Amino acid sequence: MMAEPVQPQPPTAAAHVDDDWPRIPGYRIGKRLGRGGMATVYLATQESLDRPVSIKVMAGDGLADEVARQRFENEARTIARLSHPNIVAIHEVGRTDDGRMFYVMPYLPNGDLTQRDLRGDGERVGAILRALLSALGYAHARGIIHRDVKRENVLFDGDDRPLLADFGIALVRNDDTRLTTLGHAVGSTSYMSPEQARGEVVDGRTDLYAVGVLAYELLVGRLPFAAPDALAMAVMHAQDPIPRLPAELRTWQAFIDQAMAKSRDARFSNAPAMLQALDAIGQRQGSITGQVVQAVRSGGAGRSRMLFAAGAGVGVIALAIWYAHDRGAASGAQAAAGRTATPTTTIASPATTAGIASGQSPTATAAPASAVPPASAASAASDRDAGVAAADASSSTVDASGAASDASTPASKTDAKAKRSKRPPPRRVKKRNFISRWWHNL
């Protein structure tokens, strides 16, 4: 988790002072912040300015170790040459009452990079790496190789700005003093380049290799190589393939591969080139994010258009069904009215009745032409023949109305069948055709 920036607070007075704590005029020691192989760092208050500071004091046995003493002095001189917003500065250099060297630095209250969990946070990791590459590029341009870039040496000030610290084993190219013998490796083996592990002469690309290791560690949450001892670790850095990043971090893989190349000639040539590649990662990530956002927005607009079209379609279908139903109802009413106005039987006239009674051949009188649909000549002749046959067959006086009614019944059924056969097809067929054509066109 990212620590929130805090404002430095003056240290409170210590309840007691260890005998090993230094006594430095003008400074009041508050507490011990950390201890390394050749020095200890204390939190103190600079009494003249009443501000919190960090004081790095050489270990007591360093007085007898000439190499340790020279390295401490080398670190103080190296930092004093550098003035960069991402490199820890030095306020003062001196000696304690017992002769140990010390130098005073700003107090950095937000701890170091080991206290941060940045797994998967490419944006925050990129910001820290940019600060480190800017600091290293500045130092390399002045002939200074850090040789110990790692999480513990990246500190944060009150504004949460990362600063590169601990130039204790830094190599200064134009310095005739050599504190490392060829063939002897110095540094942290987990971050060492293959040539540094072999004790060869190194240049700025060694620091860039360590930045690649640091980038992998911050993104994944663990070092790229793990070994039980320093020798095995050096062999892995020199021979083992570079581990693959998780799929969600694949945009970083090419950057890591080039930064951690086994051959220094295959790595980034300098810090500005590596910084440019880092910026390209940020641009690719921004492009991918923009594409995802655009896709989501486009998908939302597409869904809106789809819903609108679906609603419109439902409305059109409902309107079509209502229209077809209304037309069908009107057509049915008209057909019913037509069937009522058209007689289906032939009624005998009074003249016909009288003819039958007197024994004359009866003549069937058809309904008016306006009320009866046209019929064939065969149907008319059949009707007349049926009436005559009924009259001749009568052996007694019959009811003229009953005889006429009986004689007309067959003709009525025939006419009804003819009318039904000539009716137009049901309207519902047209309704189905109309809806089918509309749906096909939609």
Coil, helix or strand at residue 92: strand
Of 5, 94, 91, 4, the C-alpha closest to 51 is: 91
Question: Residue 145: how many CB atoms within 10 A of its CB?
Answer: 21
DSSP string, 321-382: HHHHHHHHHHHHHHHHHHHHHS--S-PPPHHHHHHHHHTPPP-PPPPPTTTS----HHHHHH
Half-sphere exposure of 3 (CA within 13 A, CB side): 20
Q: Cα(433)–Cα(185) distance, rounded to whole angstroms?
A: 91
Handedness of CA 10, 16, 18, 23 (dihedral sign): positive
Phi, psi (deg, nearest 5) at residue 171: -105, 125
Of 326, 312, 99, 132, the C-alpha closest to 211 is: 132
Q: Cα(129)–Cα(149) distance, rounded to whole angstroms?
A: 11
**Residues 8-19, buried b or exposed e (16+ Cβ, 10 A)?**
bebbeeeeeeee
What length does the chain have?
Answer: 442
The answer to whether the beta carbons of residues 271 and 279 sit under 8 Å apart is no
The answer to whether the beta carbons of residues 241 and 216 sit under 8 Å apart is no
Ranges assigned E (strand) in 250-323: none
Burial class (CB in 10 A: 0-12, 13-18, 19+), 190: buried
Distance (Å) of CA 141 to CA 39, 81, 116, 133, 314: 28, 12, 30, 12, 73
The answer to whether the beta carbons of residues 161 and 85 sit under 8 Å apart is yes
Burial class (CB in 10 A: 0-12, 13-18, 19+), 139: buried
Q: Residues with catalytic annotation?
A: 148
Q: Which two tokens stand for residue 138?
A: 């500045």
